[in-house]
A and B are shown apart, each in its own frame.
Chain A
């Protein structure tokens, strides 16, 4: 099977190891990976800020890059995947030609954990893991894409690791894209509460499917001086491949 990977700007710019883990993981399951040239950002930051002109530019560009390709588009980020699947068709609701293209792209798009469970059945593969792992259910992934069970199935399936539920797992961590920049004090207060719940589980690793949230949580963990590891789910799963 051949898929097209959208790396996301955050992973591309700040967390390339997560991109590499995603690639290792997919290849391990026999997936051939295309990485279309020219990809940039899905436009989510502009979209949530209300800059629709700029988010449309991003969407048009994304569509033009992936329109030339075939097969499933895999995105290792809940918020970017929701942007493509839910918001792109909405952005072009008054432009029939673009809307159709957007719908087609949306139909091909899968968030990574969704694809790993539903298509590759990775949760049945018996990968191994270590330590005590808990999971933060990021907002757009959970509420807009309706993906809640899949990441947990994957984590629960890891041999040698213990999965623990995070209280209020689906409560916002305070990242919120530009929210983090515009109301930093509130953002930090929310991240601090998230860290409280993480520490209450006794987990040594917290994971999730969105690097935006994980970045915000990692910062709060650092402020707390805690040794809890904050890792994207692709990285957690890929650890078991060695």
Chain B
């Protein structure tokens, strides 16, 4: 859309308070662009609706066809992480800033490890695939999610590890038996010497039989539990590579710590979820995973304890030996020296000595404390000094006593000390062992299953609401894309100014879409009697107003022409040529002029219907073929001053008739007798008639319907006429739709109100 040209800047008087002009013009331009955009979308709403409908249908089909996925959920409590007590209180306060990584994360990783999942796969035979052979993708879609259809359940299927991934086949045979066939390709790492016959029959049997076979020198076993299929139905039988099976499970498994989203909170509760099309299997797999995890956990924990136990139990005999030795030495010595009991005094002396030593050290400490507040030599300090001196002398006395004891007793004392120490060590180790054994028994109970997995009741996928929303949005986006794309590719001229600026053809009139004309159009196509001419019936309609403007314009254009003959044509059919020609003739007649309207479209002429005439016969084609003079073919109408010449019966070669001298004579005579002669011609692009008439008239008007013609089409019309030496004088831009958003609309609505008001006034 071309913008309104920016007005020249002119200092705005302060009183008006308007924006500066240039800014306002820019704003107007932007507004127009946006409006244009919405307008395009609004006009393409049908295409958008179609696109939305299509996308929704696609989405619903996908939802309908997609396998429902069920989710089994479970909860595990894991052992709380060991609390590291920080001695520093300040650091402990900061501890919540530096939370050590939760143990839960470690455990989640362990749960998802190949170790646990691998054991799960092995325990549940999840690497075993036995499913009917279908067409890829389409077959799955056709089969949909129905559980019905061919099924096989395999009890055991044992193959060597390097046969994993190979596709064996089970083919149902009549009578409930089946055939077991070898893969159609040798294994990747086969024995070089072995033979691998392709698609060979390995064995046949019934469900329940344990079949054995040899293929490539390896022994294989198969036992089918159940088989329900029509004879001839083939099944794929495969043990997938373990890693692939593990990866699949890992993709379907979700583990997270409950409440971990809140900062600094660790709940040590793991939420586990497993998704699978089969709800019961999902629960089984999840439970198996937890089982394997717990087992592994228990093994790991008890493993740590057993190591410690083993170490302690290793040390125990050594300590025991030492103890025994010490006891033996003591006994031996006692036996040597004669049973000498420890003298009580010695005991006392020793105890006293020890007591004194502690007292002295306490006093010395006290003295140090006192020295912080008191001088050396102050009363308190001297008192303490005196006490210390007293105690030290006493302790020296005791020591002397002990040294004075006989050597034998000293030896006994030393030996007894050995015995005592070894006894203590022994009991400690023994206690630890006892404790560890208790712990070992109760260890694994820290990690436990809170909620076991249950089969999900409702599928979690497909998420219908979300998918519908996604496809709805997709539909809208695709629709917008299509509409805008179409608009970009096929740009029907929406703005008459483009015609003026790009083609240099003046636009004589812009005619708004008229509601009243719709009614007339019905009457015309219904062939109802009466005059169905907008300018005649609805003089206050805005479209009539436009036609009167056209009359003004033509008044100035035709003033200097010798023949006031006007040809109305258009690029293609159905653009409103007849509407324009008829109504133009009517408004010209209303200005008290004598007007002849000629229906020059001898192929599909329809002007008679505008005037409620029954037939088009007895018109131009008869005149040109010499069957009747033109004056007797002209008919009067209800519009004063307007007479009409219908098209006549359909001739064999209309274009040739127009080239006859009869036509030229008719045009010359008619333009002398009437002030205006208006020709309604066939469209310009499909046939040559219009160009032939155009060379004989004074003025050529091209009717273009808003938004119907790309600029090139109009340019082609111009070129077509010019190549025949005819200049295209002007364009009538017809049927501008007030779309509700268009730039024109507000003006038109304004105009409608205005016209309505005028009609009210009379």
**Do they bind each other?**
no
Interface on B for A, CB 8 Å cutoff?
Answer: none
Q: Which residues does A use to contact B, with CB under 8 Å?
A: none
